[in-house]
């Protein structure tokens, strides 16, 4: 009797797996990821929800949103509102409206509530952080929770405040030099190769390819305007991009007046410093390590500082951008 019941359970599980696979295959292109880049035991899609309770076990959906309350989460349900119209052809994906009424002809069904709780320009049904403004919808680990409201941006199961590489996947938390910056994101441990070492240069008799370049690289920087040392870990994480291969250096400093008001001294004080390099055009993260001066900031006190990010290309052209940030303990 027990064997028959076990056999029935196995068949049911296989049947569910086939149905789920078929539905995932029919899901929109935005949900095409079949598995996470770093699957975990018992969590195939790496969205921090274990397979046995995950309503989309092979599609990352940390929010587990399930509009129509069926067995499939919205991330892998081809008809989120169960109105017999596939999401790709439904002008109101989260509210059942088989008539598809659209009185103003804007492509958004009359039944669909125009709610944008956080006023970031994204309607709630398509916003991965409903209560935190994040118009860019960045989701580093692809778990359906935007970085702005995700406690674990890189999906390695360590909350950002306790992760020694908050935006680089490193579940082992290795830190070879013991400086509280994980080996996976520590420039001092990772820098290697002829383009980063002192005295590196082209082979004898060859002209450096960038010798005639006199144009400074284009650079952008994204960093929170307010920083709490208690939440930031060992370093300030600066998102930066460069239009070509370049070395990036970030320095956070308070001018003499700001340092004096925060009782950090009477001269310009460097609060964080870090560097990183890009092998080509793209985006990266620069980890600016807090200095002992930053650690002296007393509880309840704040200091206004300037973040200066300087990008230098292989020809020596430099460009610097500055952002003001407020730091507090």
By the 8 A CB rule, do 317 and 216 touch?
A: yes
Residues whose CB falls within 8 Å of the CB of residue 212, separated by 6 or more in sequence, listed in order: 315
Q: What is the distance between the alpha carbons of residues 165 and 239, in angstroms, rounded to a whole number?
A: 13
Of the pLDDT bands very low, low, confident and very high (cuts 50, 70, 90), residue 98 is very high
State mean pLDDT over 223-227: 83
By the 8 A CB rule, do 157 and 49 touch?
A: no
- Catalogue the E-assigned strands of the chain: 219-222, 226-228, 235-242, 246-254, 269-278, 282-290, 302-313, 318-328
How confident is the model at residue 7, as a pLDDT? 42
Pairing relation of β-strands 226-228 and 246-254? unpaired
- Picking from 75-89, 251-265, 276-290, which range would have the lowest pLDDT averaged per residue? 276-290
How confident is the model at residue 32, as a pLDDT? 31
Of the pLDDT bands very low, low, confident and very high (cuts 50, 70, 90), residue 55 is very high
Among 193, 164, 159, CA closest to 177: 164
- Picking from 69-78, 131-140, 251-260, which range would have the lowest pLDDT averaged per residue? 131-140
Evaluate whether the domain defined by 213-328 bears CATH number 3.30.70.20: no
State mean pLDDT over 164-184: 84
Token look-up 């009477």 returns 266
How confident is the model at residue 83, as a pLDDT? 92
Residue 152 pLDDT > 60: yes
How confident is the model at residue 193, as a pLDDT? 37
By the 8 A CB rule, do 51 and 59 touch?
A: no
Pairing relation of β-strands 269-278 and 318-328? unpaired
How is the chain split into domains, by residue range?
A: 114-150, 153-190, 213-328
Residue 315 pLDDT > 80: yes
How confident is the model at residue 190, as a pLDDT? 65
Residue 263 pLDDT > 60: yes
Q: What is the distance between the alpha carbons of residues 101 and 104, in angstroms, rounded to a whole number?
A: 9
State mean pLDDT over 122-140: 84
Among 188, 287, 309, CA closest to 241: 309
Report residue 52: phi and psi, to 5°.
Answer: -70, -20
- Picking from 97-111, 197-211, 279-293, which range would have the lowest pLDDT averaged per residue? 197-211
How confident is the model at residue 49, as a pLDDT? 84
Express as a percent the part of the chain with pLDDT over 90. 12
Residues whose CB falls within 8 Å of the CB of residue 73, separated by 6 or more in sequence, listed in order: 54, 55, 56, 59, 61, 64, 65, 66
């Amino acid at each position: 009797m027990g064997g028959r019941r076990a056999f029935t359970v196995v068949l049911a599980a296989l049947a569910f797996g086939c149905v789920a696979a078929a539905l995932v295959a029919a899901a929109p292109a935005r949900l095409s990821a079949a598995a996470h880049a770093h699957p975990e035991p018992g969590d195939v899609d790496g969205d921090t929800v274990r397979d046995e309770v995950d309503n989309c076990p092979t599609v990352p959906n940390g929010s587990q949103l399930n509009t129509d309350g069926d067995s499939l989460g919205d991330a892998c349900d081809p008809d989120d509102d169960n109105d017999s119209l596939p999401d790709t052809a439904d002008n109101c994906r989260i509210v059942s409206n088989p008539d598809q009424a659209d009185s103003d002809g804007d492509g958004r069904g009359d039944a669909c509530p125009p709610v944008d709780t956080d006023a970031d320009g994204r309607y709630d049904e398509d916003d991965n952080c409903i209560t935190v403004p994040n118009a860019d919808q960045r989701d580093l680990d692809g778990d359906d929770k935007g970085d702005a409201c995700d406690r674990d941006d890189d999906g390695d199961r360590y909350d950002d405040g306790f992760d020694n590489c908050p935006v680089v996947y490193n579940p082992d938390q290795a830190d070879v030099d013991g400086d509280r910056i994980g080996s996976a994101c520590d420039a001092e441990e990772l820098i290697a190769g002829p383009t980063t070492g002192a005295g590196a240069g082209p082979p004898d008799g060859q002209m450096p390819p960038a010798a005639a370049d006199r144009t400074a690289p284009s650079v952008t920087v994204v960093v929170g305007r307010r920083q709490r040392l208690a939440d930031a870990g060992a370093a300030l994480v600066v998102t930066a991009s460069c239009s070509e291969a370049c070395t990036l250096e970030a320095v956070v400093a308070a001018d003499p007046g700001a340092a004096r008001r925060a009782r950090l001294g009477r001269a310009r004080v460097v609060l964080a410093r870090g560097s990183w390099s890009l092998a080509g055009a793209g985006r990266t993260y620069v980890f600016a390590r807090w200095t002992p001066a930053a650690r002296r900031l007393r509880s309840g006190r704040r200091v206004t500082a300037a973040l200066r990010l300087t990008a230098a290309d292989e020809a020596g052209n430099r460009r610097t951008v500055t952002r003001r940030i407020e730091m507090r303990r």
